[in-house]
Amino acid sequence: MKNFRKFKGFLTLLCLSFAISSCDKNDDTPIAKTNEVSITATAQATESLSSLVTALIKADAGLVEALSDESATYTVFAPTNDAFVSLLASLDNYASLEDFDTVEDKAVLAQILKYHVVKDIAAKSTDLSNEQTITTLQGESLTISIDGTSVAIKDQTSNLANVILADVGATNGVVHVINKVLLPQEILDAINTPNLVTIVIDTEPLSILEAAVIKANLVDTLSADGPFTVFAPTNDAFIALLDILGEQYNSLDDFDTTEEIDLLRNILLYHVIPNATVSVSDLASGNIDTAYTDNAITIIDNQGTFVLGDASATNANITGTDIMASNGIAHTIDKVLLPQAAIDFVATLNMKTIVELAVATDDLSVLVNTLQQADAGLVETLSGDGPFTVFAPTNAAFTSLLESLDNYNSVSDFDTTEEKALLVKILTYHVIANTTALSTNLSDQQEITTLQSEKITIGLTGGVYIHDATETPAQVTTADVTASNGVVHIIDKVLLPQEVLDILNPNIVATAQSVPDLSLLVDALIQADANLVETLSGDGPFTVFAPTNQAFADLLDILGNSYNSLTDFDTPEEKQILTKILTYHVVSGAAVASTDLTDHQEIIPLQGESIFALVTNNVSLRDKTTTDANVTTADVSTSNGIVHIIDKVLLPQEVLDLLGH
């Protein structure tokens, strides 16, 4: 049903509307005075009763047919068109009788019309007496008021309907034309009983609830047909809640994010029992579902008085009962009921952020210093909403890392742009974004992508372990330290991704690329086009004897005008020669340090022919030529082997034969 609005001065408006009419004032259209047609036909023939005819048809309740029945007898008090205009003007959402278009609307209209019909009697004005009570077809009574020659009808309002034309005869009764639509108590109740939202608006101690309902966009919901039962927290109840929430929440205005408004909406729905009008006399111990899906409140019998239990430890008392509304009932309570989601929210407010936890933990002070030293906004990031999962290395873990690195005595030594970027890669490898992964959520051999982008692997044998790109996993020493924006697991090792390992301990190819005097060796590896770059970037281990740029220049001089640069090795045959030369410098399967070599030791490289080590005061290498190569820089350690820099390109007999030397 469209809601009738509660309008102030409703009766006064009706009085003003009808006071201008009297029983000696007729509408412009004369009434057909005849005994030859029915009441329905009489109304249809009278222009000033066209709205009544429209209403009878619109109500669709058989009234047109009943008032046409020649075998029945009726007395009808017939409101004029002006009377219907005045009624419609006092109602919301009803600009015309056509707006009574739902089943409920039509039922309302039918009850109003039946209140104008008296069955089984044709009562002329001369048959009526002052203060006479007449029962209508609707069921409620009308009272006759006669003052001299004036006849008026009292309905359930305080205003009279004046008979402006009496005793219009019809074949099945009599019609008295009146200047007001009569209203039974049933309809007045619909008009004058406010809905739940209006009750909240009109009740000063519920003004904060009113603001909350508006903010949570629940006005339309609680203005709907219902029925609803609402437990309405008072202003004091809301103030107590804000006190619990702390300094961040001084008023409802502080609920300004989408998540906070959603929470507020769910808290309010937790106070609503849908599809029921539960009075205090209907209360019984037990759980009762609320409009907040899957969340119930508990009705508790407290020595004969019922209180309300929520997800907190404090019950709510019912302070005002059985406030009737057009779409349900309300009871005031002295506490805001809190579902579990709200309890969790309050708990989160009292938690520290991940950064605050780290600052408050002495054994994570180096981690805090490292976050600051990286100078990449990581402190701000890990202070944000999250959620994050952070594996936090202890101070001892950072000390161990620094001891394994040259030239780094503390995190403050990471002071260049490149070094700070390296710290960022290390730190972000310890962070999982957009999740709160408790230890109980982890599974053995689970792979998780970090904020740095590489993965870590979980191991659950004998504890919780985190496997990085090294051979040694980190153990979780303290798990599940909950923060407001995630969770922290304290670990005993700094995790290192492959990207950082490659920077801190580069492989043979990366090492060669970082040494300017080996640039021609790198060019040769590429020019040979035999996957040697990929091979020497692999696991190894390898021992590489790396000729300097001058060594390659000397080789090119020996080869003559046909080879002015390495790019002249451009045919498949020449590339194959270059490959044989390069593989003659590589030993696979071992990282042989200079101290491991003995004089005249035979070494078998990938190419297959022998090289001999000559160890005296220094180390030299003898190939198939007459000139030995000297090791100018020995024992350059890499992640996949060892490099010895030499001053000559070694040549096997196979290559000498191909080159004609």
pLDDT above 90 (res 188): no
Render pLDDT for 78-103 as a digit per residue (tens, 0 to 9).
Answer: 999 999 999 998 887 788 999 999 88
CB of 135 closer than 8 Å to CB of 118: yes
Q: What percent of the chain has pLDDT over 90?
A: 82
pLDDT above 80 (res 20): no
Confidence of residue 143 (pLDDT cuts 50, 70, 90): very high
Rounded to 5 degrees, φ, ψ at 379 are -60, -45
pLDDT above 80 (res 447): yes
Give the Cβ contact number of residue 96 at 10 Å.
Answer: 12
Mean pLDDT across 583-610: 96
Q: Which residues contact 584 (CB under 8 A, 6 or more apart)?
A: 605, 606, 607, 609, 611, 623, 650, 651, 652, 655
CB of 444 closer than 8 Å to CB of 458: yes
Give all domains of the chain, ordered by start, each with its CATH number: 10-191 (2.30.180.10), 193-347 (2.30.180.10), 351-501 (2.30.180.10), 505-659 (2.30.180.10)
Mean pLDDT across 381-402: 95
pLDDT recorded at residue 177: 97
d(CA 374, CA 434): 22
524 in helix, strand or coil?
A: helix
d(CA 433, CA 109): 62
pLDDT above 60 (res 17): no
Confidence of residue 13 (pLDDT cuts 50, 70, 90): very low
Region label for 217, one of left (φ > 0), alpha (ψ between -120 and 50) or beta (otherwise): left
Mean pLDDT across 305-318: 95
Query: How high does pLDDT run on average in the chain?
Result: 91
d(CA 180, CA 177): 9
CB of 551 closer than 8 Å to CB of 653: no
pLDDT recorded at residue 35: 52
Region label for 120, one of left (φ > 0), alpha (ψ between -120 and 50) or beta (otherwise): left
Length of the chain: 661
**CA nearest neighbour of 424 among 447, 450, 387, 448:** 450
d(CA 183, CA 140): 10
**CA nearest neighbour of 580 among 660, 507, 661, 653:** 653
